[in-house]
């Protein structure tokens, strides 16, 4: 058994050919923005030899600093891939970026540069943050039009981008919000064309620190350590399904989700994806928009097929074969987060000829 100093919130990935598992540690929610919290957070990507539990790779680094973006593999799955003879792990994360590392050494495969970021003495911020080359797959700046004119403390919002720190004076709105970016929904990879497929949301959140909040903690109760505010209830949370060419970490095609049905205000992408050797990529459409599974051309993003399900899909599809026939299956359980919606308990399976 391998121990970490924090919770593991994402999905480990195991390579059967060498018995190595790749996992990450998710730091517990800290007392953010408080003068009592001065220790830096960490991100760790670890490669563990499954048969003996020995640690193969440990990569600590500097953290993003506001709630929900505190490490680049926060609540994110890890996907292995090959680049020639080099084994790579890629993490599409809450920050809206994909981070690529060598699976054996932990060194960046796609260039990651330390760049200056806004500073706050209150937050004891790091002067730089690691920013990968390539495209971001989600919005990274808050939109003033999405928020009310004043927060519930009676003051106006301060607006910023991904690494804008907040303090105790007033609410600071940033993007991505606590929901990402990417989140728990796993990405998929097509090794033939080298594309990674990422399901994401354009969330926004506002934060205000609580001074000396460590003294207010009470065991057994929810404890976030900061005050949170969100866009107005009628603002649509949009989403996207993006294909990134991982040699360059650039987006080659993207499907935007900007409309909803079922009286919902959330079109964010909360499912995951699976790519097939036949050049297809399957994912569950945003359930605020449509209850069903869809297939896209893996290279072009053209929609080829979709099928309705009784409830929405928040789980990733999977594929398997029986007697030489390939199937795609997905669980439609309905909404389990955010606004209430139709619940389901059905498993759907399709052959690749659409039946």
pLDDT at 74: 32
What is the overall mean pLDDT for the chain? 79
pLDDT at 340: 52
E strands, 154-279, where? Answer: 158-159, 172-174, 188-190, 195-201, 205-209, 226-229, 239-245, 250-257, 273-275
* Domains, the chain: 13-258 (2.140.10.10), 259-355 (no CATH)
Q: How confident is the model at residue 203 (pLDDT cuts 50, 70, 90)?
A: very high
Whether the predicted pLDDT of 75 surpasses 50: no
Q: How confident is the model at residue 68 (pLDDT cuts 50, 70, 90)?
A: very low
Query: CA 272, 43, 179, 224: dihedral to nearest 10 degrees?
Result: 140
pLDDT at 305: 95
Residue 253 contacts residue 243 (beta carbons within 8 Å):
yes
- The mean pLDDT value for 175-183 works out to 89
pLDDT at 22: 64
Residues 210-257: tens digit of each pLDDT = 887 777 777 787 777 789 999 998 889 999 999 999 989 999 999 999
Percent of the chain with pLDDT over 90: 45
Q: Of 4-13, 14-23, 342-351, where does mean pLDDT reach its minimum?
A: 4-13
Predicted TM-score (pTM) of this structure: 0.84
Residue 78 contacts residue 89 (beta carbons within 8 Å):
yes
Q: How confident is the model at residue 106 (pLDDT cuts 50, 70, 90)?
A: confident
Whether the predicted pLDDT of 31 surpasses 60: no
């Amino acid at each position: 058994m391998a121990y970490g100093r924090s919770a593991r919130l994402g999905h480990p990935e195991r390579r059967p050919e060498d018995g190595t598992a790749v996992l990450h540690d998710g730091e517990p929610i800290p007392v953010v923005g408080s003068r009592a919290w001065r220790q830096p957070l960490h991100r760790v990507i670890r490669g563990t030899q499954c048969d003996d539990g020995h640690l193969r790779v440990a990569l600590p680094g500097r953290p993003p600093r506001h709630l929900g973006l505190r490490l680049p593999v926060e609540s994110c799955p890890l996907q292995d891939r090959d680049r020639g003879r080099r084994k790579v792990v890629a993490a599409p994360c809450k920050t809206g970026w994909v981070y690529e590392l060598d699976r054996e050494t932990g060194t960046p495969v796609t260039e990651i540069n330390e760049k200056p970021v806004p500073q706050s003495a209150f937050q004891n911020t790091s002067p730089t943050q690691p920013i990968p080359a390539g495209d971001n797959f989600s919005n990274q700046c808050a939109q003033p039009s999405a928020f009310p004119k004043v927060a519930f403390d009676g003051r106006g919002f301060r607006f910023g981008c991904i690494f804008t720190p907040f303090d105790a004076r007033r609410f600071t709105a940033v993007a991505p919000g606590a929901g990402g970016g990417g989140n728990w929904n796993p990405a998929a990879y097509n090794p033939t064309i080298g594309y990674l497929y990422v399901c994401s949301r354009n969330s926004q959140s506002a934060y205000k620190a609580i001074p000396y909040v460590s003294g207010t903690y009470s065991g057994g109760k929810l404890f976030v350590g900061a005050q949170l505010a969100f866009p107005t209830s009628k603002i649509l949370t949009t989403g996207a399904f993006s294909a990134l060419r991982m040699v360059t970490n650039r987006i080659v095609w993207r499907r935007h989700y900007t409309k909803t049905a079922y009286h919902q205000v959330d079109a964010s992408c909360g499912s995951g994806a699976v790519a097939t050797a036949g050049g297809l990529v399957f994912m569950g459409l945003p359930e605020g928009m449509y209850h069903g599974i869809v297939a896209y051309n893996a290279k072009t993003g053209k929609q080829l097929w979709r099928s309705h399900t009784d409830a929405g899909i928040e789980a990733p599809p999977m594929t398997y074969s029986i007697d030489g026939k390939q199937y795609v299956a997905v669980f439609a359980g309905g909404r389990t987060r955010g606004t209430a919606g139709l619940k389901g308990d059905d498993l759907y399976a399709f052959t690749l000829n659409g039946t």
